[in-house]
A and B are shown apart, each in its own frame.
Chain A
Amino acid sequence: MRIYEYEVKDLLDQAGIPTPRRELVQDPAQAQAAAARLGCPVALKAQTLIKARGKAGLIQFADTPQQAGELAASLLAREHHGEKVASLLVEEKLALAGELYLGVVVDYTNCRPVILASRSGGMEIESLAELDPDRLLRLAVSPSQGLTPDQAQVASRFLADGDVAGELAKVVSALYGMFVQRDLEMLEINPLAITKDGQVVALDGAAAMDGDALWRQPELVKPRNQSQEEFEREADFQRRGWSYLGLGGDIGILSSGAGITMAILDLMRMWGGRPANFLDTAQMDRQGIYDAFQIFRDQPGIKTVLVNIFAGLNRCDLLAEGIKDFLGEYKPAFKLVVRMAGNREEEGKRILEEIGVSPIRELEASVHKAIEVTEDQR
């Protein structure tokens, strides 16, 4: 889960890593006032979760407060990969002597953090890793011991020679500390600038949080690029252990388990069906399946809902009762296709047949059926 640049910079401040003076603004008047306070020239940086803003023209420079206001107006009207620009950082523009790269990522194969460092900052680090791997330092860190002072020295000397290396070693240590303390999956400063007067400053930062550690990072939990309603729905799903994704087609999918849900999406797409969305519920019971159906209700684009139940630990009869509860209360506009197999399958089948739903036993047959009844409605 990505967080915004301005959030990363606030966290960098708290970690003791120098950042430029800046203000977060939401409208052109604020931008103009901020530019006047900070002193021009200033940088205006659109706050988006997806980066690569430079190429998209989402970072601009203003020589006067008035120009800052005008540029802010145009930036705040922009979209970036479907994300509306809602705020900007107005930031002092520094005179730079050099740009470095410094990051911490996780090596999932070897189960440990890795420090990445390069003297070629400012460019995308993937390109650098491909173009010139020798110019990229990779330093594996022991998760239990943390970054050692020696390792911080190695990284800082890789980044620069001379006096500034001492300052850089502090930044490397502080960055690693922040990576651990904030439960981050990824943290990078790119570029990490050296100013003409020899200061080290984090010009841009990116970070991703670990969704499984939010309970101990409560201050990082807030809506980002979503309405309060969407945010609360997501939090509710998280509490229930559900995952939901919109896909834009016309067949809704309710299934249990990420692997089988992905397999259903594969089969559906291979055979010409268009998934509208999917809901993956970890555990399903009578109330759970009733609640889950509410998500598909009142979505006009959905013509069919395919339910897949392979009850290993769950019980088909209880799930069938949940479906019966729902259909007893609502008359959904969509057609329903149920695949049901496993624990108490016969009882579940009987309950569904009583209300006019014939469950299908085989997975593939149910996907074919869902596509077929959807085509009939087109």
Chain B
Amino acid sequence: MSILAFKDTQVLIQGITGGAARHHTENMLAYGTRIVAGTRPGAAGQEVCGVPVYDSVAEACAQHRIDASILFIPAKFAKASALEALKAGIKLLVMVTEHVPLHDAMVIMEEKQKQGAVIIGPNTPGMISPPEKAILGFVPTRYFIPGPMGLASRSGTLTYELVSRLTAAGIGQSTCIGVGGDRLVGLRFAEVLLKFEKDPQTRAVMLVGEIGGTMEEEAAELVGGGKVTKPVIAYLAGQTAPEGMKLGHAGAIVDGGRGAMKTKIEALEKGGVLVARQPAEAIDLARKALE
């Protein structure tokens, strides 16, 4: 088992006729993802890599069971496309788009909440479930092997770095999710942890965090509160970032003074999360956690 994406997950590609979308559709199909339809207004009747294209999400949904949609949509149109998919009843969205305006993202997330859907991203390379041969996005598949480690990360490139090392150490992965690099994302570490906790194949979880935001602190509270019993390892980038640059200002009030690296590491360690100071240490901790 894995989480969120499986062998039989039927996938829609919004914006399938674009250059990058075509390229990644081909790669995803080659890996094993079941892509059943694509959309592009005005392109109904075309095919991309053998996948039928429709004018709208509603039309695609009328012809196919769609479990998930991947949006290869420019930032300017991301809001309209995400709302279209959510209103059509699709329960899992992967938004790879970078630079989605903050106010658009807030509207998207409100609709997601209303529909009871999950959004991965924005600004994410997507996710992969190696045991299920399902990739939703464009992580480089050759570094991933099936196994017991669940991973959630705020950074794409750092994920490749760490996963390639896990794989070299013989530690495979159940599911790896890039939750997205933006401050406002659809799926938070705490929610991913609860999903991994329920997944029988996942035996330990690695979180790849960054300075800023409160996702690491929320995860720490969950682990500390006993809601997650599997070992959790964290590696955070930005440990030596200068303290002087105070970001939030009034925004820091709603974060309750959290977000700094020091408070993150303290919270994680207090909650019982194994915190790695360097990438190599993260792999050692993963190995020990699985012994």
Contacts and interface: CB of A to CB of B under 8 A. Distances in A.
Nearest to B163: A312
- Enumerate the 5 nearest inter-chain pairs by beta-carbon distance, A residue then B residue, closest first: A259-B155, A257-B157, A259-B158, A312-B140, A262-B237
A300 B210 CA distance: 32
A343 B210 contact: no
Interface in B249-264: 249-255, 257
Contact of B183 (A108, A112, A266): A108
Interface in B152-183: 153-161, 164, 181, 183
Contacts of B238: 262, 265-266
Contacts of B157: 255-257, 259-260, 310, 312
A105 B251 contact: yes
A257 B139 CA distance: 13
B253 A126 contact: yes
Contacts of B164: 310, 341-342
Interface size classification for chain B: 35 or more
Nearest to B154: A259
B140 A143 contact: no
Interface of B: 75-76, 98-107, 109-111, 113, 125, 138-140, 143, 153-161, 164, 181, 183-184, 188, 208, 210-211, 213-214, 218, 237-241, 249-255, 257, 277-280
B85 to A, nearest CB: 16
Interface of A: 103, 105-109, 111-114, 116, 125-126, 129-130, 136, 138, 142-144, 180, 183, 185-186, 188, 206, 210, 212-213, 215-216, 241, 255-260, 262-263, 265-267, 269-270, 282, 310, 312-313, 341-343, 363-364
Given A108-B184, A269-B240, A183 B160 contact: no
Given A260-B158, A262-B237, A263-B161, A106 B75 contact: no
A259 B153 contact: yes
Given A256-B157, A260-B157, A180 B103 contact: yes
B211 A262 contact: yes
Given A108-B255, A213-B103, A259-B153, A144 B110 contact: yes
A266 B102 contact: no
Nearest to A263: B237
Given A144-B107, A312-B125, A341-B164, 17 more contacts: A105-B253, A111-B109, A114-B254, A125-B253, A138-B253, A138-B254, A143-B109, A183-B101, A185-B251, A212-B101, A241-B98, A258-B210, A263-B237, A266-B237, A310-B157, A310-B160, A364-B279
